[in-house]
Amino acid sequence: MINRIRAIRREKGLTLADVAARCMPATTAQTIGRLETGTRQLSLTWMNRIAVALEVEPELLVRGEAADHPMYVARLTAEGAEALTIPREAILPSALGGDGALQALMIEAPAGQYRAGDQVWLRRVESQDFGRLLNRDILAPRSAGRFAFGRMIDRDASRVAILPPDPGHRQIVVENPAWLAVAEMLVRPL
């Protein structure tokens, strides 16, 4: 079992001492460090204490070797959304809950309201729920490993129309998309 204490702690900008002080009862930074590195076994009691200190659900602190984690699947460039040649694990979206697989889109070139460096967290939606995505930002797979990203402006039984985020771009029509993913969270580095 691999623990994710260090990754979540760093994601939240906390030091070992910060986490140790937030534990109830408080502990030492050295103890937290040992739990992070696995030199001390992470018991259920410790997992619950650290989860409260990090303000996350306890199950987010551990993962199996083959756990399914959100991956960057596409990037938005000046030429449009395109597939990554090697998908990369994305930062854990600890504030998101719900059904459907999570995916992340990294923004490499400014487009509409999105800035370079932004991450857009999206949740995959089943075809029967496509109708509720009207006027929402979505990611849709296209042929040859390409993607379309933008506001869904129209839909019928076999196609969706997407308006890219940059002004002046023409709509993109995607025929029979295998899935759609709706934007749920924007992560912007400060």
Q: Which pLDDT belongs to residue 149?
A: 95
What is the band of 66 on the pLDDT scale with cuts at 50, 70, 90? very low
Same domain flag for 86 and 170: yes
Q: Are residues 53 and 76 in the same domain?
A: no
Residues 81 and 156 in one domain: yes
Q: How confident is the model over 93-116, as pLDDT tens digits?
A: 554 566 677 888 999 999 999 999
Confidence check: pLDDT of 3 > 90 = no
130 and 165 housed in the same domain: yes
Q: What is the pLDDT of residues 123-178, one digit of tens each?
A: 888 888 888 899 999 999 988 788 999 999 999 888 999 999 988 889 999 999 98
Average pLDDT over all residues of the chain: 84
Do 138 and 183 fall within a single domain? yes
CA nearest neighbour of 89 among 71, 73, 68? 71
Answer yes or no: do 20 and 78 share one domain: no
pLDDT reported for residue 135: 93
Contacts of 55 (CB under 8 A, 6+ apart): 12
- Measured in degrees and rounded to the nearest 5, phi and psi for residue 48 equal -65, -40
User: In this predicted structure, what is the pLDDT of residue 65?
Assistant: 46
The CATH number that applies at residue 10 is: 1.10.260.40
Residues 150, 80: Cα–Cα separation, whole Å: 10
Q: What is the mean pLDDT of residues 18-30?
A: 93
Stronger pLDDT, 9 or 70, i.e. the higher one: 9
pLDDT value for 152: 95
pLDDT in the model for residue 97: 60
101 or 117, greater pLDDT: 117
DSSP bridge partners of 49: none
Instruction: Classify 189 as helix, strand or coil.
Output: coil
Residues 10 and 56 in one domain: yes
Same domain, 81 and 140: yes
pLDDT of res. 93: 55
Closest to 122 in 3D by CA, of 94, 142, 93, 82: 93
pLDDT at 81: 86
- Which domain, by its residues, includes 22? 2-63
| Number of Cα atoms under 13 Å in the Cβ half of residue 37 | 8
Query: In the predicted model, is pLDDT for residue 68 greater than 90?
Result: no
Digit-coded pLDDT (tens) for 33-63: 888 888 888 888 898 999 999 988 888 887 6
Residue with the two structure tokens 């933008």: 150
